[in-house]
Amino acid sequence: MYAYIKGVVQEINPTNIVLENNNIGYELIVPNPYNYIINEEVIVYISQQVREDSNTLYGFRTVDQKKVFLLLLKVKGVGPKSALAILAGASSEEITNAIENSDVNYMTKFPGIGKKSAQQIILDLKGKIEFITDNEIQSKQQKSQVVDAVLALEALGYSKKELLKIEKKLLTYSFDTADEYVRQGLKLLMTI
């Protein structure tokens, strides 16, 4: 099972993109392929759907989009195609607001969603959609990278006492990798 793939967009097609990661091109069916740019490096959150006759990767720009997609699939009569159509036409927040406000008319504007399906979606999902904000995701990733950096510095022989002094300072930086936190940690350790 995949959680996400970080890679470079190689192709944009009407229903999918091809994302290259480690010289492998992943064909990802996405709600709106034209939200991507060729040669752009992106993180795409993945839902792998295995059926009797297919093994398909669906890709989403945000964790919230993926979460809404998976919830929509649990609704009787809503398949991947309908769920993608809904996500292509509105943001996760707009969809959630429509569900929470029992806005059947809003939900019927999507292709393949009639009044019955809209009512079923609202009935099944009202009160069940919670989001994790992008800031919370970044914060979790940053904390994880700082923990990895501190463990690496400890392996280099620095004491826990020294590392406690710099850990909070490391959290004030915004780096992309644990390696960068290790380098900054070494700089901070030289000043204490």
Residues 56, 72 within the same domain: no
**Non-local CB neighbours of 82 within 8 Å, separated by 6+ positions:** 72, 110, 111, 112, 113, 117
Dihedral sign for Cα atoms in the order 35, 39, 41, 47? positive
Determine the structural domain holding residue 14 and report its residue range: 4-60
* Confidence grade of residue 23 (pLDDT, cut at 50, 70, 90): very high
> How many other C-beta atoms lie within 10 A of the C-beta of residue 42?
17
Q: Could you write out the DSSP letters of every residue in 130-169?
A: ----HHHHHHHHHHHHHHHHHHHHHHTT--HHHHHHHHHH
Residues 162, 147 within the same domain: yes
34, 60, 86 - which closes a domain: 60
Average pLDDT of the chain is: 89
Residues 43, 68 within the same domain: no
* CATH for 105: 1.10.150.20
Q: Could you write out the DSSP letters of every residue in 28-87?
A: EE-S-GGGS-TT-EEEEEEEEEEETTEEEEEEESSHHHHHHHHHHHTSTT--HHHHHHHH
| pTM for this entry | 0.66
Q: How many separate domains does the chain show?
A: 3
With CA atoms as reference, report the closest residue to 110 among 91, 130, 131, 127: 91
pLDDT tens profile 39-75: 999 999 999 999 899 899 999 999 889 999 999 999 9
Of 88-97, 131-140, 148-157, the one with minimum mean pLDDT is 131-140
78, 93, 125 - which closes a domain: 125
Of 55-64, 77-86, 127-136, 160-169, the one with minimum mean pLDDT is 127-136
Residues 84, 43 within the same domain: no
pLDDT tens profile 132-151: 544 555 666 778 888 888 89
Residues 55, 108 within the same domain: no
Residues 68, 107 within the same domain: yes
Summarize the confidence of residues 153-173 as an average pLDDT. 88
